[in-house]
Structure formats: structure tokens, C-alpha cells
Amino acid sequence: MKKTSEKVIEGGLAFSALITILTTIGILWVLLSESIGFFQEVSIIDFLTDTQWTPLFVQKHYGILPLLSGTFLTTAIAVAVALPIGLTIAIYLSEYAPKSLRKKVKPALEILAAVPTVVYGFFALTVVTPFLQTFIPGLGSFNAISAGIVMGIMIIPLISSLSEDALFAIPKSLREASYGMGATRFQTAFKVAVPSASSGIVVSVILAIARAIGETMIVSIAAGQQPILTMDPRDAVETITAYIVQVSLGDVQHGSIEYKTIFAAGITLFIFTFILNNISYWIKKKYQEKYE
């Protein structure tokens, strides 16, 4: 009697765990089935090489490049902001700061990651853009740079926290050897600690990039909705995610080509984040036990 109930419970628990697999299958199935429909109407070569993306206009073009450039531009700005600041915070907290400060600052920084992204979007539009307009003449109210900077602020804790963990995991003996040779903390940090923790730092940066690529609300609110192929951070751009939002807000019929475009855009986004996540997972697994 007892054995059967134990088995039933175990089965139920296993099924719950399997739901995560079903989620992945569901995502792949949904993205693939709808984008196959899309690629029956639009050739994949056009999709990858056309420099215009105008599915909602009369003159329709389906080139993903403008959306990719918008995504790339905002992500690059975000990383340019978050990487130096996040890494400096990590080094400061692990190599310089007293333990008590470290204990207090880490959770405080996590607040930055807990703020809903729609709030960051509002921040970019109503605070950062007007501030930038005071010294960048002709900056429009929607632009890549403001959205990128705010996105960078959002991902600072991601980089600082994971990099700090990596630095903290380095054995003390390495640092002591360096100090014993008369090196300063600065030299020890950059010539011993950072190189030793490089795999963990790289993982944190990759995860931050993946996060920025998939970020939606900040770019939807502050970066604009103009899919143009540009690398000028002052321009209004449209990211892949912002395009999906734009279409979802309108009234688009199921089965129409406009409806399918969001899945084609979605699968492009999914492929990028999937590759980045797997690289980081692989690095983590490979270098995890280096010092144990």
C-alpha cells in the first residue's frame, strides 16, 4: 500500500519537473511552426539581407537587419556603461572594501535589478533623455543612447554580483603570494585576481549581454519605433523586442503575415540568447573546479 502511494507521489513530482521540458518544447514548436509559415512567403535570403523592415506599410520589406542593428546598438551602449562600472565595483568590493561594507552594498545593488523594467523605461524617457538633450544638440525624444545607458544601469548588478562571486572564489594564497612580492592591491587585483577569475567574469558579461538583447520595455518606451539601419546612437531605433511589442499593441489578425513576423523576429531573438546562454553555461562547467 505504502509503496504505491510513494510511487504515485514520485510520479507527480517527476511530472512537475517535466513541465519545464514541455515549456522548452512549446517555445520551440511555437516559434518554428509560425516562422515556417513566414518563410514560405518571404525568402530567407531577403530576410537576412534586405536593409528595410516595413511589414506594416503598404510597400512591404522584410529585412531583419534594421532590427538587428537597433538591438545591437542599444546592447553595445548598455555593455559599454555596465562593464567598466560593474567590474570596478566587483574589484573594489572583493579586493579593497572591508567585509562589513561588502555585506551591505551587495543587497543594496540588487535593488537596481528588482526595479521593474517599465519603470526604467519611464526613467529613460523623462529624466535621462531631457538631461542628454542639454548637451547633445538635436537629440530627439526617442533615441538609442538614452535607452542604452539606462539598460546599462539595470545590468550593473548582474555584472558586479557575478564577477564579485568569481573574484571571491579565488584562493587567498594567490593574493598573499602577490602581496608578499611587494605588489599593491591595484597590481594584485589586475595582474593576479582578474586573470584568475576571468572565466567567471566572462560568464557575467555574456549573461548581461543576453539580458540586454532580450530587454523589452526600456527600448519600447525610450528608443522609438523606427526600424532604420544605423549605428548613430542619437537616432531613434527599433529593436527586435520593441517590434514585437509594437505589433502586439495593434490589431493584427491571426494567420496574417504581420502576425507571423513577430514569430520570425522572436526566433531570431531566441537563437541569439540561446547561443549566449549556452556559451556561458559551457564556460561555467568547464572552468568551475579549477581551484578545487
Partner 1 sequence: MNNLQKNRLFDTYFKYFGIACTFFGLVVLAIFLVNIVIEGAHRIDWDFLMNLPSRRPQKAGILTAWTGTAWILGLTAIISIPIGVAAGVYLEEYGKKSQLATIIEINIANLAGVPSIIYGLLGLEIFVRVLNFGGSLMAGAFTLALLILPIIIVATREALKAVPSTLRQASFGMGATKWQTIWYQVLPASSGGILTGIILALSRAVGETAPLIVIGALAYVPFVAKSPLDEFTVLPMQIFNWASRPQHGFVVNAAAAIIILLLITFIMNGIAVYLRNKWQKKVNW
Q: 97: which DSSP letter?
A: S
**277 counts as binding partner 1 under rule CB under 8 A:** yes
Chain centre to alpha carbon of residue 191: 29
What would the grid cell of residue 119 be? 519603470
**Sequential DSSP letters for 192-215:** IIHHHTHHHHHHHHHHHHHHHHH-
CB of 147 to partner 1, least distance (A): 13
Specify the residue, 10 or 232, whose C-beta has the smaller distance to partner 1.
10
- Contact track, partner 1, 155-184, x by CB under 8 A: -xx--------------------------x
Specify the residue, 23 or 51, whose C-beta has the smaller distance to partner 1.
23
Place of cell 521593474: 116
CB of 121 to partner 1, least distance (A): 7
Coil, strand or helix at 62: strand
Residue from 1, 4, 21, 57 touching partner 1 (CB under 8 A): that is: 21
How far apart CA 161 and CA 203 sit, in angstroms, is 12
**77 counts as binding partner 1 under rule CB under 8 A:** no
How far apart CA 224 and CA 42 sit, in angstroms, is 26
- Contact track, partner 1, 36-75, x by CB under 8 A: ----------------------------------------
How far apart CA 17 and CA 29 sit, in angstroms, is 19
Residue from 153, 194, 205, 236 touching partner 1 (CB under 8 A): that is: 153
Which range, of 40-48, 53-61, 207-215, 229-237, touches partner 1 by CB under 8 A?
207-215
**100 counts as binding partner 1 under rule CB under 8 A:** no
Contact of 163 with 202, CB cutoff 8 Å: no
Residue from 68, 78, 83, 93 touching partner 1 (CB under 8 A): that is: 93
Residue from 56, 76, 80, 97 touching partner 1 (CB under 8 A): that is: 97
Query: How deeply is 206 buried, as exposed, middle or buried, from its count of CB atoms within 10 A (0-12, 13-18, 19+)?
Result: buried
How far apart CA 114 and CA 120 sit, in angstroms, is 11
Residue from 129, 163, 178, 220 touching partner 1 (CB under 8 A): that is: 220
Specify the residue, 24 or 59, whose C-beta has the smaller distance to partner 1.
24
How far apart CA 276 and CA 163 sit, in angstroms, is 17
Sort residue 224 into left (φ over 0), alpha (ψ -120 to 50) or beta: left
Residue from 60, 61, 185, 234 touching partner 1 (CB under 8 A): that is: 185
Provide Rg for the chain, Cα atoms.
23
Total of residues contacting partner 1 (CB under 8 A): 82
Contact of 145 with 70, CB cutoff 8 Å: no
At 286, give phi and psi (nearest 5°).
Answer: -70, -40
CB of 202 to partner 1, least distance (A): 15
Specify the residue, 133 or 216, whose C-beta has the smaller distance to partner 1.
216
**114 counts as binding partner 1 under rule CB under 8 A:** yes
Specify the residue, 21 or 45, whose C-beta has the smaller distance to partner 1.
21
Question: Which of the residues 240 through 269 are near partner 1 (CB under 8 A)?
Answer: 241, 244-245, 248-249, 254, 262-263, 266, 269
